[in-house]
Amino acid sequence: MLGLAESSGVVANSTSLVLVSAATALVGLWVWSQQKPRKDFPPGPKGWPLIGNILEFMSDSPPHIIFLEHAKKYGDIFSIRIGQRWTVVLNGVTVIKEALLKKGIEFANRPSTYSTDIITEGGKDISFGQFTPTWKLHRKLVYSAFRTLATGNNERFENLVYSILPGLTKHLESKGSEPFNPKPTLASSIYNILATMCFGKQFEFDGPEVKFWMRLSQEGIEVGGNGLAADYIPFMKYIPTPAVAKVKSLLKESSDAINRELEEHHASYDGGEPKDLIEMLLQVRQEMEDEGSEDMTMITETHIRQTVANIFSAGTDTSIFTMHWSVGLLVQFPEVQAKVAAELDKVVGRDRLPSLNDRNNLPYTAATLYEVMRWLHNS
């Protein structure tokens, strides 16, 4: 009996071993099949199982240098695999123009990743949304809002910028001759311009609201600037990580803040001429509802929140960085600062503020701004 029991145990163990081996082999075959591109896929460097070519981007070389080296070997159109995600890379002006201009619609979609799906609440935003009727509607509404509230009317846009100058100058004067970090002050200026456009109000300079949005932006870049592991290795989404928890926490903070603005607008907007982006979106939704539109799913509360978040959050970083670099470079190159000041004094004078009509008469100032942006994007 003992021998029979021992034999049964050996058989059971052998069966388990066979099943585990078979399952492992099947998983391995599936992973291998997922890593093979189509036969007509562009050539590219071979990667490692599971992680692909991701180790290349952990070197000291910046991505554009890595891509240029691959282009020398594989041509202007090649492929790489980042984790388990295949990516086609375009090098050279000709192929990039063909993709973005001649075949713009074919290349209009954005890659859907685990992190963007979290941030956009299922692709309901503009920045990462797919090229769908819903996306086109919200892009059209945002363009219309910018034309109405800012860029379409020089005088209105100038007044919008002028409105933040008293708070800016007062805050700068309060610093006296002591050195200080100008970034929070510059950020306050940008956030106040966008807050006026999106929410119809301004924040206190360097106040709690500005610090709140600056913190969200900085923490968002730190935790998700390079994406999450699950963006490249899909099964990682089933493994809870601090990074995923942080992204979800930041999204909740941002959503809660914008929801408070939406609630205030729901209570105060009377259906008259819209004064900000939220009122414009609410007006369009009300008009669609009054007309009995069957497309109300295109402009839900989530869509509105995501559209406002795109403009308010994504629209700040580039402007803040440009202004911050402008200050730093003008300090580093005082001779350039002196020439810009001299040109402004000559064209604008000290008795009025600069206007958009002065642009063609300020070539050196314009060239300086372009040079700042060149430095910024090369750094």
Nearest CA among 228, 227, 232, 224 for reference residue 53: 232
Q: Would 223 be classed as within a structural domain?
A: yes
Nearest CA among 133, 157, 132 for reference residue 145: 157
107, 125, 144 - which closes a domain? 107
Domain interval for residue 47: 35-107
- Cα 261 from Cα 265, distance rounded (Å): 6
Q: What is the pTM of this model?
A: 0.77
**40-70 per-position pLDDT tens digit:** 889 999 888 878 888 888 888 888 899 999 9
Q: Say whether both 137 and 202 belong to one domain.
A: yes
- Cα 241 from Cα 228, distance rounded (Å): 10
Q: Looking at residue 138, which CATH number applies to its domain?
A: 1.10.630.10
* Residue-level pLDDT at 37: 67
67, 89, 107 - which closes a domain? 107
Q: Say whether both 146 and 244 belong to one domain.
A: yes
pLDDT tops 60 at residue 13: no
Q: Say whether both 273 and 172 belong to one domain.
A: yes
Q: Would 343 be classed as within a structural domain?
A: yes
pLDDT tops 60 at residue 28: no
Q: What is the 3-state secondary structure (H, E, C) of the chain?
A: CHHHHHHHHHHHHHHHHHHHHHHHHHHHHHHHHHHCCCCCCCCCCCCECCCECHHHHHCCCCHHHHHHHHHHHHCCEEEEEECCEEEEEECCHHHHHHHHHHCCCCCCCCCCCHHHHHHCCCCCCCCCCCCCHHHHHHHHHHHHHHHHHCCCCHHHHHHHHHCCHHHHHHHHHHCCCCCCCCHHHHHHHHHHHHHHHHHCCCCCCCCHHHHHHHHHHHHHHHHHCCCCHHHHCHHHHHCCCHHHHHHHHHHHHHHHHHHHHHHHHHHHCCCCCCCCHHHHHHHHHHHHHHCCCCCHHHHCHHHHHHHHHHHHHHCCHHHHHHHHHHHHHHHHCHHHHHHHHHHHHHHCCCCCCCCHHHHHHCHHHHHHHHHHHHHHHHC
Q: Say whether both 217 and 102 belong to one domain.
A: no
Q: Say whether both 161 and 285 belong to one domain.
A: yes
Q: Would 365 be classed as within a structural domain?
A: yes
**295-311 per-position pLDDT tens digit:** 788 888 998 899 898 88
146 and 152 Cβ atoms separated by less than 8 Å? yes
Q: Would 350 be classed as within a structural domain?
A: yes
* Residue-level pLDDT at 364: 98
pLDDT tops 70 at residue 288: yes
Please give the average per-residue pLDDT across 175-188, as a whole number: 87
Q: Say whether both 97 and 221 belong to one domain.
A: no
365 and 345 Cβ atoms separated by less than 8 Å? no
* Residue-level pLDDT at 4: 45
Q: What Cα–Cα distance (Å) separates residue 267 from each residue in 194, 196, 264, 279?
A: 21, 18, 5, 11
**134-151 per-position pLDDT tens digit:** 888 888 888 887 777 766
337 and 330 Cβ atoms separated by less than 8 Å? yes
Query: Whats the size of the chain, residue-wise?
Result: 379
125 and 142 Cβ atoms separated by less than 8 Å? no
Q: Would 1 be classed as within a structural domain?
A: no
Q: Say whether both 141 and 55 belong to one domain.
A: no
Q: Say whether both 161 and 91 belong to one domain.
A: no
Q: Say whether both 165 and 194 belong to one domain.
A: yes
- Cα 141 from Cα 28, distance rounded (Å): 48
Nearest CA among 20, 228, 4 for reference residue 116: 228
Q: What Cα–Cα distance (Å) separates residue 293 from each residue in 140, 288, 362?
A: 17, 5, 49
Burial call 349-370: b when 16+ CB within 10 Å, e when fewer: eeeeebeeeeeeebeebeebee
Q: Would 5 be classed as within a structural domain?
A: no
Residue with more model confidence, 156 or 19: 156
- Number of domains forming the structure of the chain: 3
Q: Say whether both 339 and 211 belong to one domain.
A: no
- Cα 188 from Cα 192, distance rounded (Å): 6
Q: Would 25 be classed as within a structural domain?
A: no
- Cα 298 from Cα 308, distance rounded (Å): 15
What pLDDT band is residue 326 in, cutting at 50, 70 and 90?
Answer: very high
What pLDDT band is residue 365 in, cutting at 50, 70 and 90?
Answer: very high
- Cα 285 from Cα 300, distance rounded (Å): 8
Q: Would 39 be classed as within a structural domain?
A: yes
Q: Say whether both 152 and 289 belong to one domain.
A: yes
Q: Say whether both 343 and 231 belong to one domain.
A: no
